[in-house]
Each structure stands twice: as structure tokens, then as C-alpha cells.
Chains A and B, each alone.
Chain A
Amino acid sequence: MNLISVWMIPIVIAFIPLFAFARRVLVYETFVDGAKDGFSTAISIIPHLVGMMVAISVFRASGALEAMTSWMGPFLLGLGVPPEIMPLGLLRPLTGTGSLAYTTELIHVYGPDSIIGRIASTIQGSTDTTLYVLTVYFGAVGIRKGRYALKVGLFSDIIGFIAAIFFCLLVFG
């Protein structure tokens, strides 16, 4: 498994130009032509990301995130879920780097092989930063009304979060 993940990218990077070359595509010119798109797309995302990042960091710095998690603490303990996990559930859909930092922190404090470390790893690996994905993908094509996309994304985050805890308690608990 580890070997696959290490070799996956190099193989793809080598194979695509080779395949194109064999098909008599002008590889370098075509590459540069396509690459030009990357620049403008990345730039067009800036306003969307700035808006989102500001809101998220205000929410976090004010202590609102912390307060939300401490309210839910007692309820979670009753279910056998370590409350330390809770902030991750709220952070995960909001910020990828923030939740990765929090996961690393949990692993650092409780150890990678503790139940908290395992749950945190599973949550981090099995869900994605919904707000970021939404912002970047819709921002890149200028969609203003996301219709039901956000609700579906957040719903699957909640389900993924619960599933991660459930399977970890089942397998490692």
C-alpha cells in the first residue's frame, strides 16, 4: 500500500507525457498552453478564499469554537466519545490546515496509538474541508448560488464524523 502511494504520482507524471508523445502530440507546447489556465484560475479564487478565511479565523480566535465544543462535552462522554475529539468535528469542514494542525496536536499529546489519536487520524483521513472545496470549486467558475451543495456536504461530514468514531470504537475500543 505504502509503495503504491509513493509511486503513484511519479508514474502518472511520467506516463502522461510519454503517452502523448507516442500519439504525436507536441508535448512541450501543449503542456505550456494548458498550464496557462492554471495561473488565472488560481488568481480568480483569491477573493473567495480571503472571505472564507477571515470568517473562519474570527470564529476561532473569538473563542466561539471552543465554547461550542465545551457545551457538548458532557453529552459526548455519556456516549463513550472522548470530548477532546469534538473541536475536530467542527474544524474539519471549515479549515483543512487548521484541522490537520489540531489532529497533529492530538496525536502529539495523546499518542498516535491512543483511541483519541486513532479517531482523530480516521476523521482527518476520511472527510474533507467542505467549505474550502465549495469555495474553490464554485469560486473558480463564478457560481454564486450553490443550491443544496453545502447542505449535502455538511450532512456527509456529520455522517463521516460519526462513522469514524463508531468504527474506531468498534475496531480499537
Chain B
Amino acid sequence: MINVIWMGMILIGFIFSAVNGNIEDVTKAVFDGAQTGVTVSFGLISIMVFWLGLMRLAEDSGLLAKIARLMGPVVRYLFPDIPKNHPAFGYILSNMSANLFGLGNAATPMGIKAMQELQKLNPDKEQASPAMCTLLALNTASITLIPTTLIAIRMNYHSANPAEIVGTTLMATAVATLAAIMADRWCRHRLISQSKKKKPPAWPHTPKEGDAPC
């Protein structure tokens, strides 16, 4: 699906620019986009280096394992196929708590670290495991308690009550997260039941692109 979206955005873009006659803008956009990609990646270096250093301290001191044990039940419900006491739990938890406080920058390195731990458990290194999909679903829905950046912007524009959107954000984010968890569960069950029906190809080896269930 990502192939279709990627190809589609580029093709539709060029077709539209042919109609609109702004092909120079689009050509420029290609190079601007490429540059943004590199700039964002380089911008990530500083944050990643710092947080991963700090996370190693949390890991080696046993802090991560402590937190994981505390919040274990909820996360174990969401990630049933990760073995008990696996280090992935700690990273998933730190990723979730950083998201809760609206610390997007801090959430990314921990999410990546969690992905790397999940990849170690993944039998097919090219294809996402169900646990990886769940982690992604939680992150794209972005469970937020305090939308820090938005409050700051609203303050900048002299809002009478910059934090008034906390309530609506909380409700919207709760609904989106619930929808993500439910959709993820549904897809996961479909995947497992489909792989039981057809003998070959057995899960976790989905054969072709576009053949994937759900």
C-alpha cells in the first residue's frame, strides 16, 4: 500500500502540474523535498544521540525494567506476543509516556529503540510483525494529555485561554487511539485466521504485495 501511495502522490503531482502549468514549481519541490528529508534526519541526530544515551542509563540501571513491571498489565494486553520481562516493554512504555506529555521529540528515539527490540523477535526481518503494527498504531494515534506545542502557539497569538483546547484534544485523542487499537486488533485477528485457512502461505510469510489481508 505504501508503494501505491508513494507512486500515486508523485504521478498525480506531475499530472496536476501539467494541467496547471506549474512544472517548474514541482521540479523545485522535488529538490526542496529531498533537502527537507536530509535536514530532518540530521536534526534528529542530536536528539537521538542524547536520548539514546540517557535511555542506556535507564536500561543499565534497571529503571526501565522497573517501570515496565509497574505498567505491565496494560502493555501486555496490547502486546500479547512479546515474552514476559522482555526489554521491548520498557521502551514501549517510555515511548507511550513521552507521547502522553506531548514530547514528540523524546518519543521518537524510544519508539525506534522499541522497534529494534521487536525486530529481534520478528521471524521475517523484511515484514512488520503484529506487535510492530500495534506500536505504530499507538504512535500514529498519538495519545496526548498535554499538547505543549499548540498551547505555546496559541499563547503567541494572544488567545484568551490558550489551554482551552486541552479538553477537546484529550477527547479526540482518546477516540482516535481507541479506534487505532480496535482496527489493529481486527486486522491482527484477520491475519491469523486467514493464515489458518490457507495452508501455504503460512503466516508470517505473506506472499505478495496486495495479497495481504485486511
Contact = CB atoms under 8 A, between A and B. Distances in A.
Contact of B1 (A9, A13, A100, A150): A150
B153 interface: yes
Nearest to B43: A42
Given A35-B56, A62-B26, A150-B1, A160 B172 contact: yes
Contacts of A52: 6, 37
Contacts of B165: 118, 121-122, 125
A57 B33 contact: yes
A142 B62 CA distance: 28
A164 B14 contact: no
A52 B34 CA distance: 8
Interface residues of B, number: 115
Interface residues of A, number: 100
B140 A49 contact: no
A46 B32 CA distance: 14
B160 interface: yes
Given A30-B56, A54-B33, A152-B183, A144 B127 contact: yes
A134 B136 contact: yes
Contact of B103 (A8, A107, A152): A8
Contact of A34 (B34, B53, B139, B160): B53
A136 B108 CA distance: 8
Interface in B164-208: 164-173, 175-177, 179-180, 183-184, 187, 191, 206
Contacts, number: 373
Interface in A1-51: 1-2, 4-5, 8-9, 12-13, 16-17, 19-20, 23, 25, 27, 30-39, 41-43, 45-46, 49-51
B20 A63 contact: yes
Central interface residue in A27, A140, A142, by most chain B CB within 10 Å: A140
A49 B37 contact: yes
B169 A46 contact: no
B24 to A, nearest CB: 10
A33 B60 CA distance: 11
Contacts of B111: 133, 137
Top 5 A-B pairs ranked by shortest CB distance? A34-B56, A125-B147, A160-B176, A35-B53, A50-B37
9 contacts: A35-B50, A112-B159, A144-B127, A147-B128, A148-B187, A150-B1, A152-B136, A156-B183, A163-B176
